Structure 1
Amino acid sequence: MRIHTLDLRFIGLPGLIASFLVESGGEYALIETGPGSTLETLRAAVRHAGVDEAAIKKVFVTHIHLDHAGAAGWFAQQGAVIYCHPNAARHLIDPSKLIESARMVYGAQMDALWGDMLPAPADKVIALKDNERVTLGQVEVIAWDTPGHARHHHAFVIGDVCFAGDVAGMRLEGSRYLSVTAAPPQFDPVAYVQSIDRLAAAGFKTLYLTHFGAVEDVAWHLATYRQRVTEVYERVAAGCKEGISVEENRQRYAAAEHQIAIAAGVSEELWLKGEDANVTSMCADGVRLYCEKGR
């Protein structure tokens, strides 16, 4: 098996969003497609890896947020089968509600940031249950139900390798700062920790993060990320008890994360780059929403 990390150069920057080209026994698959706005970059990266796009017959998306699955419909329309979580399938077939929701958040920036999300033909979308397997050449791709970031989230396991989507967070340029991916509306710290514990118990050799790339110090990464998820939840929960405003919550969240990142050796430039991939104000909203639901 060979794994190619394809840099989609989201908003023109390297190292923010990855897609993974997996080849085994003469078969090719993509894990994650990135947004529609980077489709042409993805297609060029596939060709640069020496692979004909038409040879990609299987596409796996960890969840249907636009930075992970926005281009999935295009591949489905070319004949590839899209594998996803059962709760994600309907949004790939009819992405209109997803697009409408995103447009409310991003407004005039929507098209530039995310591009088009084309509908996938229903017969090209296959929902996988927990532990279901798909043969790819000489290996099997196993779907793991891993909620916490989203209820419709899968990690994909191949042997001692795990493609973690967002359930193992964001880590840019190999830094020691792990940013919690907590965009609304489905952040759930209890489910998140359980999913992280499941990954940690498996003893994977390598994690592949959509944001961004291969992680080899897996035990440290997952143990630290588990602490980070709990930390951001407890911080926001405390603010909610104080009755702070939405804007104050966002400001406190950003200030705390900035301080943690700088203490971990992150440069100001890398911090700002991270904000382009995992905006702290949006994460603050995601954690606050969970707290306000009283769970």
Structure 2
Amino acid sequence: MSDHEYRSDARSHWSQQISRWVRLACQREVQSPKPGNVSPGYDFADATVADFLASADAIAVVMAMASERSLGTTILDCVEATRRVVGHNTNLGIILLIAPLATVPVGQSLTDGIGTVLNAATVDDSVAAYEAIRRTQPAGLGEVKDQDLLQAPTQNLVECMRLAADRDLIAAQYANGFQQVLGNGLKWLAEAQQAIESSSLQITWLAVRFLAEFGDSLIARKCGPLMSDLVQKKAQELLRSGWPQRSDSSADLADLDAFLRADGNRRNPGTTADFIAAVIFAGLRDGRIV
């Protein structure tokens, strides 16, 4: 085999791995019973487990080539691929979080490579990402004075995201080097793996841990920051109660779940679910999950 053929074969294998990890991350996220989210037995009127699984298959194909394409192109193409199979927004947050991670090339850890990916982002990436966001019409987005989504962006994608970082935890990842995914998230995942035997319950705990630390950006946008703060407090109380180790603590989790599902699922912690998918992808990609 020539050097060219070897490199081509290696790229193909890496692309297949990225695609597999993206699909697995999205599947494990939606198939785990996280409080307030779409999960088996808990479809929403406008979003089902089947929708999320179809979306996972769609973006996995696009993400496979992320390291050889621009970040903005990957984001926009993932949104378009999703729209072709489900016709509505199931995964914009997941796309925005996983696309930069999937772009880190083979041979580099995510921690070492994510900065290079973000620093390479351009105004063209902003244009593509803005178009992707507009096409999904996510809930609760207001207008801002600088780099508003309804205007043509004039700054690179990291700078545009930095302007929203104080009100959106996904945007903050572009500004802080994915600290909550690669720092907090992977640390908490390791803690869950050590303390909890069930892999599904590990994901449930991870979601509650994120809520307890950060609240939820989607809840804040849809219901106001005070509601996000209340959800954060309830998650903190659940962790202090001794769940999941305490044998009679499942009712405490059920109470949080019921609260989040009330009011027509308006309190759905969708941003938290997006982070869970990203952390699982990072764990798979860097060998922390098998």
TM interval, short-chain normalised:
0.3 to 0.5
More strand by share: 1
Q: Which structure would you say has the larger RCO, counting Cα contacts within 8 Å and 6 or more residues apart?
A: 2
How high is the TM-score relative to the length of structure 2? 0.34
How high is the TM-score relative to the length of structure 1? 0.33
More helix by share: 2
